[in-house]
Amino acid sequence: MKTKILPKEDIEKQIKYMTQIKAENDRFATENGFRRGAFVMTFGCQQNEADSEKIAGMAEAMGYEILSSPEKAYLIVVNTCAIREHAELKALSTIGQYKHIKQKNPELVIAVCGCMVTQEHRVNDIKFKYPYVDFVFSTAAIHKLPELLSQKIKRGKRLYCTDEEYSVAEGLPIRRESNYRAWVSIMYGCNNFCTYCIVPYVRGRERSRRKEEIIAEVRELVAQGYKDITLLGQNVNSYGKDMGFDYDFADLLDELAHIEGDYILHFMTSHPKDATKKLVDVIANNKNVAKQFHLPLQSGSDRILKAMNRHYQLDRYMDIVEYMKAKVPDIVITTDIIVGFPGETEEDFEGTLEALRKVRYDMIYSFIYSPRKGTPAAEIEDQIPSAVQSERFNRLLALQNEIAYEINQKHLGETIRVLCDGPSKNNPDVMCGRTEGNKIVLFDGSSELTGQYVNIKINKCETFALVGEIV
Ligand code: SAH
Ligand code: SF4
Ligand code: F3S
């Protein structure tokens, strides 16, 4: 199937709606002395963060002031996630809280979009249990926000836009959260159907953006002074396959890394079954590519990997890790692990612990398996009791904390370049930043350093952070 690039006319139609709504919002601002505000609440992964930057971009183009909290909003868009049950419950409870805001301001329009409401049963939940939600739109319909909002305002009826065809939409306005870190989606969707995962059902099949558009976007970001750019896709290693390009992700990364400037490229996520040595070589050979690799293992047991439909075995995974370590000394390696997948025995779980000991990850993101309606794994009889899952989860964390603490000690006394993100949560005088490998670094400094590179001499190494001083 060939990827559908959304025709220019479809975007132009949305721009027309944006202009109309803007005229009305401008009129309101002149009359009332303040602008209607919009608030975008985002759950889930970076892909959703990137979508929300488009939603905020469209809202701004429609003449809304973008707010950092929902209380005074005239438009609230909740961008939801469905990856685990917890993510859905959080989104639903947040939507529940907005009821009170609507009681105070009946003019408020509440919209819900994203992965959770790209499932029929959740659309029905919204329809019947959240009557104050004005419209719902699926992940494929993000670009239709202006049209839906316009219809809602004109006709007042509730709307459900859930059957939009998946495509690639170019040319939407983007309102970026940061002026030094940026997301760039290079492709959308997933074809892998890992048996536990909802993503292929709520994000559609893989489709790539044209390389010309990606290169132009990254070039522009670098020109604007962005220092850290993350290329996004559910499986970036499949880039271009849907377009029949004779040009793969390694080629794209290499070409992007040759753009002149002082910036670092990250990417996520790479599926181990398609991770190539060619890609590792691109990391090794380019100073502008982060010496970091996120390679989700999920489980260290071949039996479980097979049940997960992951299409690789542990030894093939270890091959690519060995190659990375040999080619890129000091590479930061991170992973995702699922604990308590149906049928996971103590021996399978031991395999995962053993894999952690072997690879020695700098960091892991670990999750307790959560059954997702409509996925094959949810139908497996042998679901693991939650007490067993939690016990294994804690053992996994304890081991990883030990490993991360040991690994981090090697940074003691080193001077590392860090991109400063501003004051830390707990202390306004302590700045927080990240290394090229995304390790957290804390140091005394002023918030004027936000968005700048600083050289930090490390004098303390903890499990989750390095502590140092500016040199
Ligand atoms: N496309 C990426 C990540 C997708 S979601 C990839 O393939 O790696 C991020 C992580 O969430 C996954 O790597 C997996 O570890 C976890 N995850 C996905 N579905 C899950 C589920 N049903 N229960 C628990 N964790 C899950
Ligand atoms: Fe989900 Fe697997 Fe696709 Fe990742 S590769 S999004 S885990 S189905
Ligand atoms: Fe969640 Fe959708 Fe991302 S399910 S993890 S927001 S792709």
What is the 432 CA–ligand 1 centroid distance (Å)?
Answer: 28
Do residues 385 and 446 share a domain?
no
Pair (156, 17) in one structural domain: yes
Question: Do residues 157 and 145 share a domain?
Answer: yes
* Residue that is written with structure tokens 């995974």 in the block: 317
332: in domain:
yes
Helix, strand, coil percentages for the chain (3-state, nearest 5): 45, 20, 35
> Degrees (nearest 5) of the Cα angle 410, 416, 418?
130
Cα(83) to ligand 1 centroid in Å equals 7
**Domain membership flag for residue 209:** no
Q: pLDDT, tens digit, for every residue of 170-220?
A: 999 999 999 999 999 999 999 999 999 999 999 999 999 999 999 999 999
Asked, for residue 286, whether it belongs to a domain, the answer is no
In short, whether 82's Cβ falls inside 6 Å of ligand 3 is: yes
Give pLDDT, residue 451: 97
Cα distances from 37 to residues 23, 149, 237, 336, in angstroms, run: 15, 14, 39, 38
pLDDT at 245: 79
Q: Which of 378, 394, 410 is the last residue of a domain?
A: 410
Q: What CATH number corresponds to the domain at position 156?
A: 3.40.50.12160
pLDDT digits (tens, 9 = 90+) for 251-263: 999 999 999 999 9
What are the φ and ψ backbone dihedral angles of 168, each rounded to 5 degrees? -115, 120
**Span 101-130, average pLDDT:** 97
Are 13 and 138 in a shared domain?
yes
Say if 312 falls within a structural domain.
Answer: yes
Residues 315 and 448 reside in one and the same domain: no
- What average pLDDT does the structure give for the chain? 97
Residue 370 is assigned to a structural domain of this protein: yes
Q: Which atom of ligand 1 is nearest to the CA of 365?
A: 15
User: At 446, phi and psi to the nearest 5?
Assistant: -110, 160
Per-residue pLDDT reduced to its tens digit, 284-310: 999 999 999 999 999 999 999 999 999
Count of C-beta atoms within a 10 Å radius of residue 6: 16
Q: How much is the average pLDDT of 412-426? A: 96
Give the residue from 363, 378, 410 where a domain finishes.
410
Q: pLDDT band at 53, cuts 50/70/90?
A: very high
What integer pLDDT is reported at residue 458 of this predicted model? 98
Q: Specify the CATH number for the domain of residue 351.
A: 3.30.750.200
Whose C-alpha lies nearest to ligand 3, atom 7? 199
| Residue at 186 is within a domain | no
Can you give the pLDDT at residue 31?
A: 98
Task: Give the nearest ligand 2 atom to 203 CA.
Answer: 6
User: Which of residues 135, 161, 187 is at a domain's end?
Assistant: 161
The domain tally of the chain equals 3
Average pLDDT over residues 368-376: 98
Q: Please give the pLDDT value at position 413.
A: 97
**Structure token pair of residue 188:** 């959308």
pLDDT(2) > 80:
no
The ligand that comes nearest to the alpha carbon of residue 308 is 2
Count CA within 13 A, CB hemisphere, residue 433: 31
Do 401 and 351 sit in the same domain of this protein?
Answer: yes
- Between the CA of 85 and the centroid of ligand 1 the distance, in Å, is 12
Rounded distance from Cα 203 to ligand 2 centre (Å):
10
CA of 177 to the centre of ligand 3 (A): 19
pLDDT digit string, tens, across residues 230-251? 999 999 999 999 988 789 999 9
User: Ligand 1 — pocket residues by CB below 6 A?
Assistant: 83-84, 196-197, 199, 234-235, 269, 271, 296, 298, 336, 338, 367, 369-370, 372
CA distance 450 to 420: 5
What residues does ligand 2 touch, defined as CB less than 6 Å away? 190, 192-194, 197, 199-200, 234-235, 271
| Among 81, 86, 89, 197, residue to substitute to test ligand 1 (most atoms within 8 Å of Cβ) | 197
- CA of 379 relative to ligand 1 center, distance in Å: 18
The verdict on 325 and 424 lying in the same domain is: no
203 Cβ closer than 6 Å to some ligand 3 atom: yes
DSSP state of 289: B
Average pLDDT over residues 386-394: 98
For residue 154, is pLDDT > 70?
yes
- Put simply, whether the predicted model's pTM sits higher than 0.85 gets the answer yes
**Do 26 and 153 reside in the same domain of the chain?**
yes
Query: How many angstroms does the Cα of residue 367 sit away from the middle of ligand 3?
Result: 14
Is 352 in the same domain as 396?
Answer: yes
Residue 123 lies inside a defined structural domain of this protein: yes
In the predicted model, what is the mean pLDDT of residues 123-145? 98
Q: Give the ligand 2 atom nearest the CA of 191.
A: 3
CATH code for the domain of 464: 2.40.50.140
Q: Which pLDDT score is estimated for 114? A: 98
* Residue 4's pLDDT band (cuts 50, 70, 90): confident
Same domain for 316 and 420: no
- CA of 200, nearest ligand number: 2
Residue 400: φ, ψ to 5° = -65, -40
Angle at 469 between CA 468 and CA 471, to 5 degrees: 130
pLDDT tens for each residue of 424-461: 998 999 999 999 999 999 999 999 999 999 999 999 99
- Are 14 and 90 within one domain? yes
Q: Indicate the residue type of 292.
A: Q
Beta strand pairing call for 181-185 and 228-232: parallel
The vertex-145 CA angle with 1 and 57, nearest 5°, equals 100
Residue 320 and residue 421 share a domain = no
pLDDT band at 1 (very low <50, low <70, confident <90, very high): low
Residues spanned by the domain of 374: 291-410
Per-residue pLDDT at 244 = 85
pLDDT at 3: 79
Residue 224 within a domain: no
pLDDT average, residue stretch 316-328: 98
DSSP characters for 74-105? EEEEEEE--SSHHHHHHHHHHHHHHHHHHHH-
Closest CA to 169 of 4, 45, 327, 303: 4
Which of 234, 274, 336 to mutate to test ligand 2, by most ligand atoms within 8 A of the CB atom? Answer: 234
Q: Ligand 3 center to residue 88 CA distance, Å?
A: 10
